[in-house]
Structure 1
Amino acid sequence: MLDEAENQLENGQPWMNPEAPVKNCENFGTERDVANCPFFLKTGACRFGDRCSRKHVYPTASPTLMIRAMFTTFGMEQSRRDDYDIDACLEHSEEELQDSFLEFYDDVLPELKSVGKVVQFKVSCNYEPHLRGNVYIQFDTEEQCKDAIIKFNGRFYAGRQLQCEMCPVTRWKNAICGELF
């Protein structure tokens, strides 16, 4: 599917994310679900972390892998130094961000494909600390995701140790905001 998306984009055609299966329970993962944290279910991360009043259900099996804070740019690093200075990243253009992403994509994707078929590859460019630089990789099977965790967890990339975990994201449409590539 990722190859199909790359071919369509190279030919100037638009690409839409495939829809994931819908869960049976109507309120599960929504703000009306009083037990489970909807933000954690949508993104695999919650701004309240361990202080959240709702449950964070970590999946025991999932085709989606999340690597926390793997993608960084100069603007993201500047905002990390001072989360209250919203002007820290204004000195960098969208073109520089796009170039950084493409360089990252070309560097990382072949290594991820060595584990198995990559269905989705998403990078969060959100400046919120709990989402900043998170990389989401949806593999074709849960077994490939497990193999990726074994292979990549604890390795180093760009001077930082990778933190890999299975991600509960089931619907990309709900998880994606305007700041994801």
Structure 2
Amino acid sequence: MANYLASIFGTEQDKVNCSFYYKIGACRHGDRCSRKHVKPSYSQTILLPNLYQNPAYDPKNKMNASQLQNHFDAFYEDFWCEMCKYGELEEVVVCDNNNDHLIGNVYARFKYEDSAQKACDALNSRWYAARPIYCELSPVTDFREACCRLNSGEGCVRGGFCNFIHRKEPSPELERELELSTKKWLKMRGRDERSVSRSPSPEPTRKRY
């Protein structure tokens, strides 16, 4: 029985634990969910709910598509470089959803669990864009399961209200820049995690809007 329960943990067959929370780190029912949201004691991934304030969802927004992308690129670069202060970063995922439990959510997946814990502890006492940051460890380890598979194909009929992550992508140019600068930074300091944590992280170069 124990082996069976372990095998279905966090799946749709699990009638006790919420599969959406396990896959995505967020659930539309929140605290009212009939199934348990088991918060991890340790994880490589942190979640910062509602961190990215997308101007596209502001009724007074007057930015065009190019300006919106530049705004996001500046945020993404700033966030990436900031997370590098806590350890070796593997992935950043920003939600482009417009539903209450996913809007503006930002995930950061580190190579090491202690880096994620260090970031979580530090960020909970910080502010960003004049708003307090809330950060928690997330159960998400595989974003292929968390992201909507239709969003990158013909399009998801639910749009921004989908309960799976619609991933907001930085420009290809920025992705290449961050990849190269991070590789260079790691090469200069070696692969020792303690060395990475103590060393200055890459600096953002884009204008913050």
- Which category of TM-score, normalised to the shorter sequence, fits these structures? 0.7 to 0.9
Letter in 1 for 2:107: Y
Letter in 2 for 1:70: L
Q: Hey, what's the Cα distance between the residues in 2 that align with 1:32 and 1:93?
A: 45
Name the SS for the 1:163 alignment partner: coil
Instruction: Tell me which residue corresponds to 1:15.
Output: none
Q: Hey, what's the Cα distance between the residues in 2 that align with 1:32 and 1:135?
A: 28
Q: Structure 1 vs Structure 2: percent identity of aligned residues?
A: 38
- Is the contact between residue 76 and residue 132 of structure 1 (CA under 8 Å) also seen in structure 2? no
Name the SS for the 2:20 alignment partner: helix
Q: How does 1:32-181 map to 2 (within 5 A)?
A: 32-78=13-59, 94-177=65-148, 178=151, 179-181=166-168
Aligned length: 148
How many angstroms does 1:32 deviate by? Answer: 1.8
Letter in 1 for 2:138: C
Q: Hey, what's the Cα distance between the residues in 1 that align with 2:138 and 2:58?
A: 24
Q: Hey, what's the Cα distance between the residues in 1 that align with 2:102 and 2:22?
A: 13
Q: Hey, what's the Cα distance between the residues in 2 that align with 1:29 and 1:92?
A: 41
Structure with the greater alpha carbon radius of gyration: 2
Over the residues paired in the alignment, what is the CA RMSD in angstroms?
2.0
Letter in 1 for 2:11: T
Higher helix share: 2
TM-score by length of 1: 0.75
Q: Hey, what's the Cα distance between the residues in 2 that align with 1:64 and 1:124?
A: 15
Instruction: Tell me which residue corresponds to 1:21.
Output: none
- Is the contact between residue 39 and residue 139 of structure 2 (CA under 8 Å) also seen in structure 1? yes
Cα distance change of structure 1 residues 25 and 97 upon mapping to structure 2, 3 Å threshold: farther
Structure 2 runs not aligned, ≥5 long: 152-165, 169-209
CA deviation vs aligned residue, 1:112-169 (integer Å, no higher than 9, x gap): 1011000111001110110001110001111001110121113110111100000000
TM-score by length of 2: 0.65
